[in-house]
């Protein structure tokens, strides 16, 4: 069985069949760059990073496009507040975005277009819509005529009768129908503006993704992704624009990830969002947790389900990673220089022998093939770690190496387990142990002193050293190969 994914358009799982055999085009709505990204943004980026990784692991040639919105009302307002140019503001936060994504092991997209660099494509598409009577100029603005596109509302499941009830015309708008949306905004004082056939101004938000998706992936492509909040109106409007301009169905599969929720003072779950003031930025969380911990926290939930944010769940994610890295560290102690290293190459199922190794890998791939079910894929990782620990206990170097290689390979396909085990334990818990100024070198010296004390049968001193380390957030584990340590945070 091949890959199946949930298509928002059909509201069911479907077999994934690329338009062109062996090749996949995917577009994911990126961020509006006026502030630091929060954990909700991280969920979108990690979710679709995993999608892209798995498609490639299945041998598909993927072109991944993820845009930056670098002109927007919020951007203009923030730049004015800061007394800086829009380019200064957006460049700074694009750099910050890349720093955050690197910490989360999110790969760069193949193409990362900026809205301000694609104004020609937007003006051209708007012109096509005007020519087809799907859009109209009005007092310097250009609006999409929603009633002239009969399929409007299909993605969101919102019939026109329902949309009519909630439609309003804001002050200053000159559209013919309350449901119409803006494609081009006429120039206003002290705002950036560009020339167009309809007068100076700037593009609306929705048109940018239609124009850039078409430019880089064609009039029809395979997958379009984003958060649930984008289904309406953004993605609904994209369909109207792209389909209206070209006459082609623009996207075959629409994918949307669930919200990140926090519990408010009334004990109710609410979406994490900047507008609600309840968000945690990625870099704030990176002060306490590693990027890999944040990634596992996100992957512990299926991408389409709500993700409840809590520090307890982040701690649980770190504990899970500790278990996986512990298995790899135990294997390294047995294998020494023969310990496999992460290769970054997807696991080749055909190269695995019949038996437990192949069974575990097939369960991993089956989970990912089934709408990218990362919780079940992680379960396969933990089963691989258990088998690795058994191989170490049996003192079997050949089997140990095979399981270590598989664990690293499957982990790598989720963007995990790229660190050396010792580096993980000596850095991932920095908030627990590092604050007291106990460096790794000092810890190693105390462990050596403890080993000598035990050799001299000075067990009181040995116990005192263990207690001293524990008090400073350092956990010891005695193994046949000697004591190994990690931060306990």
CA distances from 237 to 10, 176, 229 (A): 17, 17, 13
In this structure, the number of other CB atoms found within 10 A of the CB of residue 185 comes to: 17
Phi, psi angle pair for 38, to nearest 5°: -105, 180
In whole angstroms, what is the distance from residue 480 CA to residue 154 CA?
63
> What is the edge-to-edge ordering of all strands in the sheet holding 135-138?
135-138, 141-144, 181-186, 201-203
Q: Which residues pair with 186 in a beta bridge?
A: 201
The DSSP annotation for 193-207 comes to -B--TT-SEEE-HHH
Tokens 């479907």 -> residue: 14
Tokens 């559209």 -> residue: 175
Q: Which residues pair with 114 in a beta bridge?
A: 68
Helices of type H across 271-348: 282-286, 291-299, 311-335
The answer to whether residue 99 scores a pLDDT higher than 80 is yes
In whole angstroms, what is the distance from residue 162 CA to residue 159 CA?
6
In whole angstroms, what is the distance from residue 81 CA to residue 196 CA?
28
- Tell me how far the alpha carbon of residue 370 is from its chain's centroid: 18
CA nearest to 251, candidates 266, 264, 265, 234: 234
3-state secondary structure (DSSP) of residue 103: helix
**DSSP state, 38?**
B
3-state secondary structure (DSSP) of residue 341: coil
Phi, psi angle pair for 225, to nearest 5°: -130, 165
The answer to whether 465 touches 424, Cβ cutoff 8 Å, is: no
CA nearest to 322, candidates 286, 290, 280: 290
The answer to whether residue 441 scores a pLDDT higher than 80 is no
State pLDDT tens for residues 368-408. 999 999 999 999 999 999 999 999 999 999 999 999 999 99
Non-local (6+) Cβ contacts of 334 within 8 A are 392, 395, 397, 400, 481
3-state secondary structure (DSSP) of residue 472: coil
State pLDDT tens for residues 68-89. 999 999 999 999 999 999 999 9
CA nearest to 105, candidates 373, 343, 429, 416: 416
The answer to whether residue 118 scores a pLDDT higher than 90 is yes
The answer to whether 452 touches 467, Cβ cutoff 8 Å, is: no
Average pLDDT score over residue span 273-282: 75
- Residues marked as binding for ATP? 274
State pLDDT tens for residues 143-157. 999 999 999 999 999
Question: With pLDDT > 70 as the criterion, what percentage of the chain qualifies?
Answer: 92
State pLDDT tens for residues 412-421. 999 999 999 9
- Residues marked as binding for Zn(2+)? 29, 209, 234, 238
Least confident of 326-335, 440-449, 456-465: 440-449
Tokens 């499957």 -> residue: 410
Taken as a whole, the chain contains a residue count of 489
- Tell me how far the alpha carbon of residue 120 is from its chain's centroid: 30
The answer to whether 50 touches 372, Cβ cutoff 8 Å, is: yes
CA distances from 302 to 100, 203, 249, 395, 478 (A): 22, 35, 28, 37, 37
* Mean pLDDT of the chain, nearest integer: 91
- Tell me how far the alpha carbon of residue 157 is from its chain's centroid: 26
Non-local (6+) Cβ contacts of 344 within 8 A are 412, 418
pLDDT score at 446? 85
pLDDT score at 480? 67
In this structure, the number of other CB atoms found within 10 A of the CB of residue 401 comes to: 18
Q: Cα dihedral sign for 410, 415, 418, 423?
A: negative
The answer to whether 59 touches 105, Cβ cutoff 8 Å, is: no
Torsion region of 232: left, alpha or beta (phi above 0 gives left; psi -120 to 50 gives alpha): beta
Domains of the chain from N-terminus onward: 4-262 (3.40.50.620), 310-421 (1.20.120.640), 429-487 (no CATH)
- Residues marked as binding? 29, 209, 234, 238, 274
The answer to whether residue 13 scores a pLDDT higher than 70 is yes
3-state secondary structure (DSSP) of residue 142: strand
State pLDDT tens for residues 147-202. 999 999 999 998 887 776 556 666 567 899 999 999 999 999 989 999 999 999 99
In this structure, the number of other CB atoms found within 10 A of the CB of residue 408 comes to: 24
């Amino acid at each position: 069985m091949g890959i199946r994914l949930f298509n928002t358009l059909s509201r069911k799982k479907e077999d994934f069949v690329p338009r062109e055999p062996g090749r996949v085009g995917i577009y994911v709505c990126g961020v509006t760059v006026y502030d630091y990204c929060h954990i909700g943004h991280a969920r979108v980026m990690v979710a679709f990073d995993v999608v892209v990784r798995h498609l490639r692991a299945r041998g598909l040639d993927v072109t991944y496009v993820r845009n930056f919105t670098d002109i927007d009302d919020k951007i203009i307002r923030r730049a004015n507040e800061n007394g800086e140019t829009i380019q200064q503001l957006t460049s700074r936060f694009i750099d910050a975005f890349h720093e955050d994504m690197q910490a989360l092991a999110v790969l760069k997209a193949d193409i990362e277009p900026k809205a301000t660099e694609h104004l020609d494509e937007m003006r051209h598409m708007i012109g096509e819509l005007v020519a087809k009577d799907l859009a109209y100029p009005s007092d310097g603005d250009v609006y999409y005529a929603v009633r002239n596109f009969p399929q409007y509302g299909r993605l969101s499941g919102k019939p026109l009768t329902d949309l009519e009830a909630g439609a309003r015309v804001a002050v200053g708008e000159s559209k013919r129908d309350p449901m119409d949306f803006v494609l081009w905004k006429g120039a206003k004082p002290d705002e950036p503006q560009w020339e167009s056939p309809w007068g100076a101004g700037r593009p609306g938000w929705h048109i940018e993704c239609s124009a850039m998706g078409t430019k880089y992936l064609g009039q029809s492509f395979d997958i379009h992704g984003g958060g649930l909040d984008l289904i309406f109106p953004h993605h609904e409007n994209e369909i109207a624009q792209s389909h209206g301009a070209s006459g082609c169905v623009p996207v075959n599969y629409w994918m949307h990830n669930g919200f990140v929720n926090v519990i408010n003072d009334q004990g109710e779950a609410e979406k994490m969002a900047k507008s609600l003031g309840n968000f945690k930025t990625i870099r704030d969380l990176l002060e306490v947790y590693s990027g890999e911990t944040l990634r596992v926290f996100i992957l512990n939930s299926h991408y389409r389900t709500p993700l409840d944010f809590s520090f307890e769940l982040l701690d649980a994610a770190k504990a899970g990673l500790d278990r996986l890295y512990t298995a790899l560290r135990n294997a390294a102690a047995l294998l020494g220089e023969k310990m496999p290293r992460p290769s970054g190459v997807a696991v080749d199922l055909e190269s695995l022998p019949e038996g437990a190794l192949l069974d575990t890998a097939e369960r991993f791939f089956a989970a990912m093939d089934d709408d990218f079910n990362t919780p079940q894929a992680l379960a396969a990782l933990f089963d691989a770690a258990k088998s690795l620990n058994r191989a170490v206990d049996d003192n079997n170097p050949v089997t140990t190496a095979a399981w270590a290689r598989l664990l690293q390979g499957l982990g790598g396909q989720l963007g995990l387990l790229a660190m050396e085990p010792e580096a993980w334990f000596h850095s991932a818990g920095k908030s627990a142990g590092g604050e007291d100024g106990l460096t790794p070198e000092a810890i190693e010296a105390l462990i050596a002193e403890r080993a000598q004390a035990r050799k001299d049968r000075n067990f009181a001193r040995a116990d005192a050293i263990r207690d001293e380390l524990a008090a400073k957030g350092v956990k010891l584990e005695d193994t046949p190969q000697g004591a190994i340590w990690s931060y306990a945070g």
